[in-house]
A and B are shown apart, each in its own frame.
Chain A
Amino acid sequence: MSGVMALGRLEIVRSLRNRRVMFFTILYPAMLFLLSASSVKGKNVPGTDIPYVDYFLVAYASFGVIAASLNNNAMRISQERKEGWIRQLRLTALPSYGYVVSKIAASLLVVIPAIVVTFLLGTTQGVKLSGEEWVSAFLVIWLGSLAFTALGIAIGYGVPQDAVQPATLIIYVAGSFLGGQFFAVSGTLETIGKALPTYWVREIATQVISGQPISWGGVAILAAWVVGCAILAAVMYQKRAED
C-alpha cells in the first residue's frame, strides 16, 4: 500500500506542477465564472427563483472539476501508455491495480482547489449560502468527479492514442455545453443533458444550495455513470494488459 501512496503523491505533485492542468482546472473556470457572474448580477435563472450567480458558481466549479478529472486522466494515461511508463511500473512490486488507484486518489485531491477557488470567488460575487449548503455543494461536485475520473481512465486506456485528445475535448466541451455548465439549458438540449453526468453534478449541487428537493433519479443516473465508466475502465485496463 505504501507503494500506491508513493505513486499517488507523485501524481499529485505532477498535476500541481503542470501549468496546463492548473489553467484548465482553476484559472479558466474562475475567469469564466467572474465574467458570467458580473453579467447576471441580481438576475434569476429564467422560470426559477435561483440567483444566476449561484447557478454559475456550481456550473463553473464543476466545469473545472471535469477538466481536472476527465481531460487530465485521459491524456496522461494515454501518454504514459505510449511512453512505456505503465510498463515500467509493472516491473515493480506495485500491485496491478496500483496505477489506477493512484490516479483516482490523486484526482480526488487535485479537483479540490478547482471547487474551493470558485467558491471563494463566489463569496466576492454576492453568493450567500449557509455553511451546510457550502459543504453539501462541495461534496456533490467532489464525489461527482469520480464519474469523470472513471470516464477519463476508460478513454485513456480504450481510445487509440492519436484520437484521445480530440475525443476528450469533444466530450469535455459537448458534455459541459449540454450539462448546462455555460448557461442554463432548456428544451432539447436539456432533454439530452439529462442523460449526462455533467448535467446531474451541476443540477444536484444547484438543488442542495437552493433548498430544492434532490432528484434521486438524477443521483441514480450519476451513480450509473460512475459504475458504468468504472466497469468500462476495468475492461479496457484488462484488454491493454499486454500492451
Chain B
Amino acid sequence: MSNERLVGDPEVPAVSFEQVSKHYGPVQAVRELSLQLPQGRAIAFLGPNGAGKSTSMEILLGLKHASSGRVEVFGKPPRQAMTAGHVGAMLQSGGLPADVTVRELLTLMTKLHPKPLRVDEVLLRANIADLADRRAGKLSGGQTQRVRFAIAIAGDSDLIVLDEPTTGMDVENRHIFWNSMKDEAERGKTVLFATHYLEEADQIADQVVVINKGRLLANGSVSDIKAMAGFQRIAFRLPGVTREQLLNLPHVVSLDVLHDHVQIQTSDSDKTFYALLDQGLRPMEIEISALGLEQAFVAITERDNGDAVETTETEDAR
C-alpha cells in the first residue's frame, strides 16, 4: 500500500520534471525543463503557441516519452501513475465515438479507472446531466468540451490535466466550466490546465507556470508573475511635456509620450513618481496600476524572445 502513502504524502509533488527534453529530429520541443508542481493546487500552464505546452503535457501523461530527463507523477513514472488511477485528462483532440450516448461513454470511463466516481455524480459535477442520453456525435462544440471534462474527472483522480479546456466555448459556458474546475480544486485535486485565456488563469490558478520555446520562463503565484514582469504602469496627462524631460526618471523600463499623454512602465512606481514631482512637474489624471496577467505574460515572453533573437544573432555572427 505504498502507493496510498505516496499520494497521501503532501510532500510528494503531483508532477515533477527533471531536466526533461524532447526533440523531434532537429526540432527541440522541450528543453531541459525542470519543474515541480505541488499537490492540491490549480495550476495554469501558459505559453504562446508552439511553446511546448502540449508536448510537456503529453510527456507527463505518458503519451510521449521524453528524449532525456525524468518525469514523475506522484513519485511514479507517468504510465504507472495512470494505471494506478492518479491521473485523469482531457486533451485537445480527445475525439469521442459519435455513436454512443454520453452515459454509455461515462459508464465505460468509470470502468477504466480503479476507483471511479458514480456515473450520476460525474454527470452532476460536470454539469451535463441534461446531456446523458444524447449521442456524442450530436453535441455542440461547447457540450463536447464539457463531456470531455466529465471523462477527465470520472476516475476521481488526484491530478486532473486539461489541455485548453475552454476552447470553442461561449462566455457563459466558460464561466460554468470554470466553476466546475474550481470545485475540483476545492475537493483537493491538483488541477493542471493549459490555456490561452489569461483571464482564466487569473481567475482560477493558485500557481502559474509560463514556458516559452520549450523552456521554463516563470513559475509562481499570479502576483509573482505580475511582479516578475516588472512593473507597474503610470499614466498621466501633462500639457507640453517632452520625452527628454522624462528620460532621466529612475526605474523606468519603458516610456511612451503621445501628445500630452504619457505612459511609463516602471519597476518602482513610487520612486519614479516622486522623482517626477521633484522635477517640479505637476501631472494630471494620474493612474498607477499593476500590469494585468495578460500584459505581464506578454512582457516576459517578449523579453525572452528578444533575448533569444540576440543569442541567435551572436551565434550566426560566429
Residues of A within 8 A of B (CB): 2-3, 6-7, 10, 13-14, 17-18, 80, 82-85, 87-95, 242
* A6 and B100 alpha carbons, distance in the complex (Å): 13
Residues of chain A within 8 A of B95, CB atoms compared: 80, 82-85, 88
* A2 and B109 alpha carbons, distance in the complex (Å): 12
Contact B113 A92 (CB under 8 A): yes
List 30 A-B residue pairs with CB atoms under 8 Å apart, sorted by A's residue number.
A3-B111, A7-B108, A7-B112, A10-B100, A13-B104, A14-B97, A14-B100, A82-B95, A83-B93, A83-B96, A85-B94, A85-B95, A85-B96, A88-B151, A89-B112, A90-B82, A91-B82, A91-B88, A91-B91, A92-B112, A92-B113, A93-B82, A93-B83, A93-B84, A93-B85, A93-B112, A93-B113, A94-B112, A95-B83, A242-B65
B120 at interface by CB-CB < 8 Å: no
Contact of A242 among B63, B96, B97 (CB under 8 A): B63
Please judge, given known A-B contacts A10-B108, A90-B62, A91-B61, whether A80 and B82 are in contact too, CB under 8 Å: no
Please judge, given known A-B contacts A18-B99, A80-B97, whether A88 and B91 are in contact too, CB under 8 Å: yes
Residues of chain B within 8 A of A80, CB atoms compared: 95, 97
CB distance from B151 to the nearest CB of A (A): 7
Q: Classify the secondary structure of B's interface with A.
A: loop
Contact of A13 among B83, B89, B100 (CB under 8 A): B100
Contact B109 A92 (CB under 8 A): yes
Residues of chain B within 8 A of A13, CB atoms compared: 100, 104
B165 at interface by CB-CB < 8 Å: no
Q: Classify the secondary structure of A's interface with B.
A: helix
Residues of B within 8 A of A (CB): 61-65, 82-85, 87-89, 91, 93-97, 99-100, 104, 107-109, 111-114, 151, 155
CB distance from A55 to the nearest CB of B (A): 36
In the complex formed, the residue of B with least CB distance to A11 is B97
Residues of chain A within 8 A of B87, CB atoms compared: 91
* A177 and B275 alpha carbons, distance in the complex (Å): 91
In the complex formed, the residue of A with least CB distance to B97 is A85
Contact A92 B64 (CB under 8 A): no
In the complex formed, the residue of B with least CB distance to A85 is B95
In the complex formed, the residue of B with least CB distance to A93 is B83
In the complex formed, the residue of A with least CB distance to B89 is A91
Contact of A84 among B85, B93, B109, B111 (CB under 8 A): B93
Name, among B61, B94, B96, the residue most crowded by chain A CB atoms within 10 Å (CB to CB).
B94
Residues of chain B within 8 A of A82, CB atoms compared: 95
In the complex formed, the residue of B with least CB distance to A9 is B108
Beyond A80-B95, A93-B114, A93-B155, list 9 extra A-B contacts (CB 8 Å). Answer: A2-B111, A6-B108, A17-B99, A87-B93, A90-B63, A91-B88, A92-B155, A93-B82, A93-B113
Contact of B64 among A89, A91, A95, A242 (CB under 8 A): A242
Residues of chain B within 8 A of A95, CB atoms compared: 83
